[in-house]
Amino acid sequence: MSSIITHTKDMAIKKKTGPFISHAHIEYNLIRDLSWGGIGMKEKNIIVFDVDNTLIKGNLTLIFLRNLSKQNWNLGKDLGIEAIKLFLFLLIKFPKAIFLTFSKKPNFYFLSYKATKYIRKIYTDIFRILKNHGFNNSKLQRQAFKILNKDLLEKKLHLESIDKLKHHIKNQHNIIVLLSGSMQEVLNVLFHQIRHQFRKDGINTKENFLVIGTQLNEETQNIEPCIGPNKIMLLKEKLKNLGADNSKIKFVYSDNALMIDLPLFIESQNGGAVISDKNKMYEKLPEKIKNVLKFLPGWKK
């Protein structure tokens, strides 16, 4: 990976803090390039990449918050309480929901609903804590530029996922979508760093990236987690706003953690790749779902 970005054609960037990249800015460039070369929007293929444990090793939000906490002991203490809550959810509450789901006829939307409800609560508390410590969206993104630097990304990025990104980005009919439960401001920076490296490697991205994560509306304080079925809803909403609502999901890469990305795999015309070992839960899936899943456990090594 290259060192932190120092310039782009669209805006001046300070090396110390990095730019504030608005989601609207990313979408503006995508709108401009959707019509590039006269290619009709209806011909676009959507290739979805999950981020946590797929594009990177680990959870992007936790990586960011852990490093942010090292700079502020009081912030770390407050966020540590939320980390304990999340641990108890993963250890006790969510396994109970999985048992209820698989003890009868599998209902993965129920599972996703339970996860979405709890993750929304976790993110509400996290954003509240960050706000109490003086972090708004723009400040979070500037901090993300400091944290997601060359050394960290070299350790955390899955090289296999970068190879897949490069493969798909070369097809001008594709829109690459980073679709993740990660915080939008942190996800924007990850996208910006990857795109910058691609350009240094001589790969023309043509801006055909779409980046969708968990977002906080600073005015209303509403949080929309980008997980489970919400991923499909948020993606379709963005495509509609871009006038590309005829585009279809062609393939998905995801670790499918806690099985909550199954709706995304089902929505995909060609299924997708699960970046994980196959476990016993997958045996309970209907055949029509199992048939669209390809497992790539070697990606995790």
pLDDT for the residue 9: 34
Which residues, including other chains, have CB under 8 Å from residue 244's CB and lie 6 or more apart? Answer: 34, 41, 44, 175
Higher pLDDT: 262 or 269? It is 269
Least confident of 226-240, 261-275, 280-294: 280-294
Q: Is the pLDDT of residue 219 over 80?
A: no
- Adjacent-strand bridge partners of 209: 176
Q: Is the pLDDT of residue 10 over 90?
A: no
Residue 36: which pLDDT band, with cuts at 50, 70 and 90? Answer: very low
Return the SS3 of 57.
coil
Strand order of the β-sheet with 209-216 is 223-224, 209-216, 174-183, 45-49, 248-254, 272-274, 293-295
What is the pLDDT of the chain when averaged over all its residues?
Answer: 78
Q: What is the pTM of this model?
A: 0.82
pLDDT tens by residue, 143-152: 999 999 988 9
- Domains of the chain in start order, with CATH, are 23-300 (3.40.50)
Q: What is the mean pLDDT of residues 16-29?
A: 53
Report the percentage of the chain scoring pLDDT > 70: 75
Q: Residue 175: exposed, middle, or buried by beta-carbon count in 10 A (0-12, 13-18, 19+)?
A: buried
pLDDT for the residue 121: 80
pLDDT for the residue 100: 54
Q: Which of 230, 263, 210, 213 is nearest to 41 (CA)?
A: 210
Residue 55: which pLDDT band, with cuts at 50, 70 and 90? Answer: very high
Assign residue 251 a region: left if phi > 0, alpha if psi is -120 to 50, beta otherwise?
Answer: beta
* Cα dihedral 268, 209, 120, 86 in deg (nearest 10): 90
Residue 106: which pLDDT band, with cuts at 50, 70 and 90? Answer: low
Give the Cα separation of 197 and 162 in Å (integer): 11
Give the Cα separation of 130 and 141 in Å (integer): 12
In 3-state terms the chain splits into helix, strand, coil percentages (rounded to 5) of 55, 15, 30
Report the percentage of the chain scoring pLDDT > 90: 27
pLDDT for the residue 70: 87
pLDDT for the residue 108: 63
Residue 48: which pLDDT band, with cuts at 50, 70 and 90? Answer: very high
Q: What is the mean pLDDT of residues 129-137?
A: 89
Give the Cα separation of 198 and 38 in Å (integer): 24
Give the range with max mean pLDDT: 71-75, 158-162, 218-222: 158-162
Return the SS3 of 104.
coil
Structure tokens at 158: 């899955």
Q: Is the pLDDT of residue 13 over 50?
A: no
Q: What is the mean pLDDT of residues 96-110?
A: 58
Helix axes 108-132, 229-241, angle to 10 degrees: 70
DSSP single-letter state for residue 204: -
Give the Cα separation of 33 and 210 in Å (integer): 12
Q: Residue 295: exposed, middle, or buried by beta-carbon count in 10 A (0-12, 13-18, 19+)?
A: middle
Q: How far is CA 246 from CA 28, 139, 219, 237, in A?
A: 18, 36, 31, 12
Supply angle C-alpha 169, 34, 227, rounded to 5: 65
Higher pLDDT: 277 or 20? It is 277
Q: Is the pLDDT of residue 285 over 90?
A: no
